Structure 1
Amino acid sequence: MSQSVEAPTAARSLWHDRNFLTIWSGQALSQLGAQVAELAVPVMAVLMLDASEFELGVLNAANVAAFLLIGLPAGAWIDRLRKRHVMIAADAVRAIALAALPLLWWAGMLQVWHMVGVALVLGVATVFFDVSYQSLVPSLVPSRQIAEANGKFESTAQLANIGGPAAAGWLVGAVTAPLAVLATVGTYLASMIALLFTRDHERVAAAHEHDPLLRSIGEGLRWVFGNRLLRRIVATTSVSNLFSTLSFTLLPIFLLRELGLSPESMGIIFALGAVGGLAGAIATPHIVRRIGEAPAIPVSSIAFSLAGLALPAVALVPALAFPLLVLQSFAMSFAVLVYNITQVTFRQRITPHRLLGRMNASIRFVVWGVMPIAALIAGGLGEWLGTVTTMWIGAIGGLLSATFVVFGPFWTMRSLPDAPSDEPADGAADVPVEGPAAESAVGVADGPGDEPAAGGR
């Protein structure tokens, strides 16, 4: 079983923990590199290969299809393996697969279907990496420092969101999009090396102690959906991702073709908007102290649902597109980070260590599993109704997402459950809900989170 070790020095900041700093440095570079690929790949598709709305929808669906196709068994497999070892292998696969794009471009062979194939491979590797990443944290630090560790990971990710898109826009302009992708390959290799030098306290059960695969998957699903609070959080996140993906699938076409912005401007918008994510990361502990951990979830969900409406509205005033897009991205990122901080730390805190992989995979299966479906729908609707109309459908539909937590029990409590429980999932709803709220030095949750899609993410 996985476990975290309560050391006498647990109260010290993680900035004094050399082991934590090792994995943190690797993830900082990886997050920065991911931002480069996130801008460079759609630029390659839209400007270099002249991809249509439908082709962009297929490409976006391929990026996240693995969460729908293998998300559930991946969680059960990961709970049988050393999570750090899974992450090392996933980084190696991602680096090799992504390196194929500049190689194919250099050979004059690059086509959209090549990009789709690479996206599928990257998606499978990312499923294993992300679920392991979220599940590894309790084996790296004492339980009282889970929120602080998550906070430092996410704050770093937000800094990468600020610097990465601007650097990506400059790289794309200076050396072309395919060569810019090589920077991401390098950061994945750096992450792999950092993980090789990281040590964890995870203990994996012996093979004879493992339940059959289907039973293991079922246990993870029962744990998630047997908890009345997690059920509502998952519903809000999945509906938000469903409709947000309608908008964000077509965002490169909206920015580069409809509004006529350059890749450099696109990168600057994402970078300035990401300041909102960093602000949300910093503000979250203060918001939690002021209004309570539980109410922070419906409040932030209302905020990001309303912010989504502003994205297609920019098309009504194209002369002001740049500043309005920055403001919209800022507000969306701020609200999403507050929401993601609170819900990810909560679920890591209450889930038994032996179920962490399956819990994260079960949630990802639902909240990310809707995204490839929505991406394909977005491509079809974009061809039929046009880019802007499709984005309006996504923005208006996104308003529905907040209802699951707005009309839930979150307003009647101040704090969320605080301690792990090894009770069966059916009893999860009976865990006391008035424990002290988690507070951290930075107060933000999760590296690759399950947040509603924000900005260009």
Structure 2
Amino acid sequence: MSAPSRLGLSRDPDFGRLFAATALGQLGDRIIFLALPLVAIVALNADEFQVGLLTAMTTGGSLLVGLPAGAWVDRMRKRSVMISTDLVRAFVLLTIPTAWWADLLTIWWLYAVALVHGVLTVFFDVAYVSYLPHVVGRGNLVEGNSKLSAIRSVTSISGPAAAGPLIGLVGAPATLLASSVGMAASGLLAISIRKREQKPEPSERPQLGREIKEGLTFVLKHSALRAIMLGDAIFNLFLVMYQTMLLVFLEREIGLQSFGIGLVLSGMGCGALLGALSATRVSKRVGQGPVIWLAPLVTCPLTVLMPLARPGWSVNVAAIGLAALSLGGVVRFVTQASFQQALTPDRLLGRMSATARFVSWGGIPLGGLLGGASGSVFGATVTLWIGAVGMTLSVLPNFLSPLRTMRELPKEKDPEPEHSNHEIVSSE
């Protein structure tokens, strides 16, 4: 194999800039994942339900603006949306340590920041997914998604590993300064990407409702896309229930400090990195369709090791189960994200992404609330059991769909899905 073919997208300067921006933004995001709940748990002494409500606020943007975000993003240059949302998110996060130092920080302040940050993240993610085909080309989507998943996995290791000691040294509120800096640096790097999109042609009379309906129709008329979204919705609901009580379980029942919690979450990042590095090989060997349901079926049951853990060596074994969950999740994500992008026409990429996010992530705020309520009534351990069982059952929609035996995913986009009720892909 020649050097250019081995390097692939690594030779593309614009992809390199996107790669670096992703690394910095994800590093900031991983620090948020650990620091924001610990601000509530440790600094504000929040109870289980308040922690669950904070999780719901963090992800509530998917319900509030999930569908219209896609239509709005399709009217704009995706790169501009990414830059502006990164910079505004950096400013919003900066208010938490500022309020803490001024002795003004309350749980309601955290709720407000989490909600605003979550809404902005919806716009960023929709633009990001829609921008990738423009930067790398449709023929390089699997490679592009794999490389970006790999760097996200690296930051999943380094973020919590760095955040744990930092929280122990300066406290969770001050640690969010690092998140703010990472978001700002990501936005500034995105400015340097030279490959500019053409501004979408404005419609003579733009109608938000009609544009949303067009995106919904495109997605819902493909049985494989429907199955992916339903499986994701079930998985995410129970994953968030699990994650909501995970930090409470580790801090209050296992007795881990911030450094130990950071190490457990870094182990999840190690699993995600292995998943990103092996996703292409696994999908070729097993088949791209079967991977989408088989990866979670193999790895999700291992999450029961955490509620079985007790203080001591068994926590290390449970952490391996969480690493396996991340490995399977990334293998599944890389395959299905490439499938969704390859199938969707350029003009519908934003709406496809937003529709998929709305359906798949719509239950996440509910998962946060259910996790908090279940933790308050039954305790963190029982809630982890419920989450583990639910995540395992999420494979059913994909297993019962055409993905069960579809070894090759489509390589051509379907420009007019409304005329095809039975075919996964129609020729142009």
In which range does the TM-score fall when normalised by the shorter chain?
Answer: over 0.9
Q: How far apart are 1:206 and its partner, in Å?
A: 2.5
Q: How far apart are 1:200 and its partner, in Å?
A: 3.0
Identity of aligned residues (%): 38
The secondary structure found in structure 1 opposite 2:76 is coil
1:160 aligns with 2:155: yes
1:23 aligns with 2:18: yes
Q: Is contact 1:135-1:357 (8 Å) kept? A: yes
Aligned to 2:338: 345
Number of aligned positions between the proteins: 424
1:284 aligns with 2:269: no
Q: Which 5+ residue runs of structure 1 have no aligned equivalent?
A: 1-8, 435-457
Aligned to 1:180: 175
Q: How far apart, in 2, do the equivalents of 1:259 and 1:125 lie? A: 35
Q: For residues 77 and 419 of structure 1, do their structure 2 counterparts lie closer, same or farther at Cα, with a shift above 3 Å needed?
A: same
The answer to which of 302-311 and 226-235 deviates more is 302-311
1:360 aligns with 2:356: no
Residue type of the alignment partner of 1:418: K
Q: For residues 12 and 390 of structure 1, do their structure 2 counterparts lie closer, same or farther at Cα, with a shift above 3 Å needed?
A: closer
1:308 aligns with 2:308: no
Within 5 Å, give how 1:85-100 maps onto structure 2: 85-100=80-95
Residue type of the alignment partner of 1:375: G
Aligned to 1:230: 225
Q: How far apart, in 2, do the equivalents of 1:319 and 1:426 lie? A: 59
Q: Is contact 2:28-2:182 (8 Å) kept? A: yes
Q: How far apart are 1:287 and its partner, in Å?
A: 1.2
Aligned to 2:63: 68
RMSD: 1.9
Q: Is contact 1:312-1:388 (8 Å) kept? A: yes
Aligned to 1:263: 258
The secondary structure found in structure 2 opposite 1:204 is coil
Residue type of the alignment partner of 1:345: S
Residue type of the alignment partner of 1:64: T
Q: For residues 431 and 407 of structure 1, do their structure 2 counterparts lie closer, same or farther at Cα, with a shift above 3 Å needed?
A: closer
Q: How far apart are 1:432 and its partner, in Å?
A: 4.5
State the Cα deviation string for residues 95-142 of structure 1 (Å, max 9, x = none). 111000000110111111111110011011101001100110011122
Q: For residues 201 and 262 of structure 1, do their structure 2 counterparts lie closer, same or farther at Cα, with a shift above 3 Å needed?
A: same
Q: Is contact 2:77-2:200 (8 Å) kept? A: no
Within 5 Å, give how 1:36-435 maps onto structure 2: 36-209=31-204, 211-314=206-309, 317-427=310-420, 429-432=422-425
TM-score by length of 2: 0.95
Residue type of the alignment partner of 2:13: R
Residue type of the alignment partner of 2:395: A
State the Cα deviation string for residues 250-297 of structure 1 (Å, max 9, x = none). 111111011111110000111123111111111122212211111111
Q: Which 5+ residue runs of structure 2 have no aligned equivalent?
A: none
Q: How far apart, in 2, do the equivalents of 1:61 and 1:122 lie? A: 12
Q: For residues 73 and 432 of structure 1, do their structure 2 counterparts lie closer, same or farther at Cα, with a shift above 3 Å needed?
A: closer
Q: How far apart, in 2, do the equivalents of 1:262 and 1:345 lie? A: 39
Q: How far apart, in 1, do the equivalents of 2:252 and 2:19 lie? A: 38
Residue type of the alignment partner of 2:367: A
Q: How far apart, in 2, do the equivalents of 1:15 and 1:199 lie? A: 16
Q: How far apart, in 1, do the equivalents of 2:202 and 2:425 lie? A: 34
Q: Is contact 2:167-2:175 (8 Å) kept? A: yes
The secondary structure found in structure 2 opposite 1:380 is helix
Q: For residues 275 and 11 of structure 1, do their structure 2 counterparts lie closer, same or farther at Cα, with a shift above 3 Å needed?
A: closer
Q: How far apart are 1:11 and its partner, in Å?
A: 9.8
